[in-house]
Chain A
């Protein structure tokens, strides 16, 4: 589904990802862990197409196509979803209007008919339960006045509505208390399907108690320095990152 080969990328002329390799197959959940500043969020931004990030070399192939050729909206329409670490507040843009437009653009790209208001609301009603989100939030402008937890739940709610093929969760657990974390992780788990994949970026192991990964990768200094199964996350939790970094000669 996703194949990243020797990816080098950065921002403002500073190289952050250095020869990064990662392969994600359908149905797999990959956790990307690592210390602060290792390039985790850069990876998420590059995959979603954030304009200020520049790819200097390497390839990213998504379902057989060159992902880096696509505009951010085209990536989203092709099924890539980024759950933002810091969702933006957009005053004046109504949440429901925004999400309906987004869903219909994604449907159009897939050759599916657009949903009218009634059909859309039926989808919303069904998905909003998954995230235990207050429906009145949807009458507000996008993320405006939402609490930190509400913003994160709203990201996963949008994901539930858009039904992406590849979800990238960028530190979705940061700033969440344990109850909110359970709701968010529960939502993600319920949305797992054999043909959908996810990259879960996190600093802490605790999220992985709820979203159980197939693979765990340690990202440091722009490269994946160690990969393993879910037990690697426990080991990192117990022993910290230093032993991996030293083993890889990064530290």
Chain B
């Protein structure tokens, strides 16, 4: 990586034309809201939903004039006739899901097909650990206590929309001091959606004090990918008790016709450790908002990410490390590999609040551009209000190193293979941070397929 970039690189856009932010959809949204069945609308939630809907209707979808969305234009989503499918487009069997497993990895799996919970394909609950459909969990005091209390919809239109209208998702509760051996695999499959179908999973994961678990949040399309454009708008909240240990792997491989917008918000109590991996290879447009509040002393967070873009894909990560309290540590490593005309966006915010003395925060974003037309907009954003802290950041943009390429060729390795080795090497630094070997192997396969030519 030759060039070190400290200032954001940007690409200019014509301002979005002035439009009705809801595209004439506010009546439709109000209708959806009014038609929510009572079981999805306990009083405590009704209040939240109403407030979220109000927020959404008054703000509308973001435009590129919004600082947080400068490089990611969601206008194509608004051109779709958005609607929530009432039924899965088709029924899936165990055999259909084989392709979405990770080798011999034994998981507690909970499956959603076109947004609908598929109990016959799920085997997640048991041993005093709740892994259940959110629809069936809305009466849980844990859900009432945490849902929508962490992922703010004040400045996040997509989170507001999800909060107002979600139907289902996953609720996970890991009791205090329980160490889960089997990872939880949350699988969202989209089968054969109609154009404009919208899926809004709402997930909440609560880990008690000293609990430990691995969670895979997996977004896929069936077969070679859905042919019609659709929108996944997911919100996941993750609540870590004191000394809790969570490894979260978000693996997004949706159809390259799909739009994927997701918010992942964690809140960490004292001494908790959250490792977040975000692997984003699918979707025509993928926007991942990943945020944590390091809410008490001794918290540790690793945000590790790999994004691949090809064709006209756009993949956007907006991350926030919010150091609210002293003596916490955060490390962020994001690598992007962009080819063809694809575009990447990385915006990494680190807040160090006034209280957060002795913070140690480190962020790196490295990008490999494999074509002249690929673009990356990368921007570190540090806001530091404490004085005794250690914060570093760095972003690089580069091509495959010509010297390394020649060195490999000079030993007899054909150029195409040498390129693949170097691309793989670039990605492997991120992949190796994932603790589950079966997931690493799956990613190896993804890379191999993508760069095999």
Query: Of A48, A81, A90, A162, which contacts B408 at CB under 8 A?
Result: A90
Contacts of B399-419 to chain A: CB distance below 8 A:
401-404, 406-415, 417-418
Which A residues lie within 8 Å of B421 (CB)? 93, 98, 101
Tell yes or no: B142 within 8 A of A by CB. Answer: no
Contact A82 B410 (CB under 8 A): yes
Contact A87 B415 (CB under 8 A): no
Number of A-B contacts (CB under 8 A): 80
Contact A73 B409 (CB under 8 A): yes
Query: Of A51, A105, A158, which contacts B402 at CB under 8 A?
Result: A51
Which A residues lie within 8 Å of B33 (CB)? none
Contacts of B373-422 to chain A: CB distance below 8 A:
401-404, 406-415, 417-418, 421-422
State the CA gap A142–B418 with chains docked (Å).
Answer: 13
Contact size class for A? 20 to 34
Contact B412 A105 (CB under 8 A): yes
Contact B429 A101 (CB under 8 A): no
Tell yes or no: B333 within 8 A of A by CB. Answer: no
State the CA gap A106–B426 with chains docked (Å).
Answer: 25
Q: Which has the most chain A C-beta neighbours within 10 Å: B408, B422, B429?
A: B408
Contact B425 A72 (CB under 8 A): no
Contact A71 B407 (CB under 8 A): no
Contacts of A60-110 to chain B: CB distance below 8 A:
71-73, 75-77, 81-82, 84, 87-88, 90-93, 98-99, 101-103, 105-106, 109
State the CA gap A211–B409 with chains docked (Å).
Answer: 27
Contact B411 A102 (CB under 8 A): yes
Contact A101 B406 (CB under 8 A): no
Contact A72 B406 (CB under 8 A): yes
Contact A93 B411 (CB under 8 A): no
Tell yes or no: B428 within 8 A of A by CB. Answer: yes
Contact B426 A72 (CB under 8 A): no
Contact B417 A92 (CB under 8 A): no
Contact A76 B424 (CB under 8 A): no
Given A92-B425, A93-B421, A101-B421: A76 in contact with B404 (beta carbons within 8 A): no
State the CA gap A82–B406 with chains docked (Å).
Answer: 11
Identify 20 new A-B residue pairs, CB closer than 8 A, beyond the known A51-B406, A52-B402, A76-B411. A49-B409, A71-B409, A71-B414, A71-B415, A72-B410, A73-B409, A73-B413, A84-B407, A90-B401, A90-B408, A90-B422, A92-B424, A93-B404, A93-B421, A98-B408, A101-B421, A102-B412, A103-B412, A105-B413, A106-B412
Cβ contacts A to B, 5 pairs, < 8 Å: A49-B410, A71-B415, A72-B406, A99-B411, A158-B411
